[in-house]
Chains A and B, each alone.
Chain A
């Protein structure tokens, strides 16, 4: 009887997934571009560290840790914000729905620990992967040019 409704919901879920993937992709490109900018801004400091003996590996680690730290802060902020929003939506029933169409008077929110853990881990992994290229770029930086001029 509700076959059409369920297939529409399935399609909607897929569309939501695609939108979320795009949002995550844009966010990871943000991390990449921020870190690349940071590498360019810090090229003199990278060159100094190389001149006094820092290895490519240690330079790479610095930028990977920085990206990971940004990812962790973003994940914690996002998770806390999402949880609070879910609680508020459930408690105060802010988003009203026409009961004759949806059989519900407000938008229900179901929060599961599994979802929080999965999304957190995915966000951290994505932000870590996003650090790899800028960190590699920092490690490969030729120290001579930045040291030549102030």
Chain B
């Protein structure tokens, strides 16, 4: 398996009133295509910050992130947006679905942003939501879905673009144990079926 994403000496620090706060120090990691990796650590350890940097949402203070050997942060802002759209799928702790749109529309968003034909995007979103057991919830808005269902819609949205990498930042943090476990089962199943590597960072 070839290398999908790598962090090379990644550092991240924030300026606070009390001085400089170093959150990540010389992080090196390498994830291969199809691999599923879990990053664990105590609250405040920097898991989310690392996720944001790997997902090109935040820039590191120093170091590099290589995606299929290409330096991610050498791209300008527009290219980074396209990169996030095509190569990364995010699942957050709080589902972060758009409340004005229903499950189907939320799932379709990444495809519509990349200006794919509407009919194709709609068909794919319906298939994905069907695969995740949400075929009867397509027209429901996030407020009308349970926490587990909302997270499954977020997973469908993350899989919409057939991204090489799905980053899940504490995806079960806001769910009860049973629903959280079923979401982990879902990730394992998807990893086997779709060969989509997922990163998740539950608190321990």
Contacts and interface: CB of A to CB of B under 8 A. Distances in A.
Give 4 closest A-B pairs by Cβ, nearest first: A53-B85, A55-B81, A150-B94, A52-B110
28 contacts: A44-B96, A45-B98, A47-B96, A48-B97, A49-B109, A49-B113, A50-B81, A50-B84, A51-B90, A52-B84, A52-B110, A52-B113, A52-B157, A53-B81, A53-B82, A53-B86, A53-B161, A54-B85, A54-B113, A55-B81, A56-B77, A56-B81, A143-B57, A144-B57, A148-B48, A150-B93, A150-B94, A150-B174
A58 interface: yes
A10 interface: no
Contacts of A142: 58
B12 to A, nearest CB: 11
Interface string B132-162: 0000000000000000000000000100010
Interface of A: 44-45, 47-58, 142-144, 147-150
Nearest to B77: A56
B181 interface: no
B113 A53 contact: yes
B55 A58 contact: no
Contacts, number: 59
Contacts of B84: 50-53
A57 B58 contact: no
B96 A48 contact: yes
B30 interface: no
A16 B36 CA distance: 70
Contacts of A53: 81-82, 84-86, 110, 113-114, 161
A55 B98 contact: no
A26 to B, nearest CB: 31
A51 B58 CA distance: 10
A63 to B, nearest CB: 15
A59 B26 CA distance: 34
Nearest to A59: B81
B52 interface: yes
Contacts of B67: none
A80 to B, nearest CB: 29
A150 B96 CA distance: 8
A142 to B, nearest CB: 8
Interface in B104-137: 109-110, 113-114
A58 B113 contact: yes
Contacts of A147: 52, 57, 92, 96
Nearest to A139: B77
B44 to A, nearest CB: 12
Nearest to A149: B94
A48 B140 CA distance: 19
Given A48-B96, A54-B113, A150-B93, 14 more contacts: A49-B113, A51-B90, A52-B84, A52-B110, A53-B85, A53-B114, A54-B85, A55-B82, A57-B78, A58-B113, A143-B57, A144-B58, A149-B94, A150-B94
A48 B98 contact: yes
A13 B45 CA distance: 68
Contacts of B110: 52-53
Contacts of A143: 57
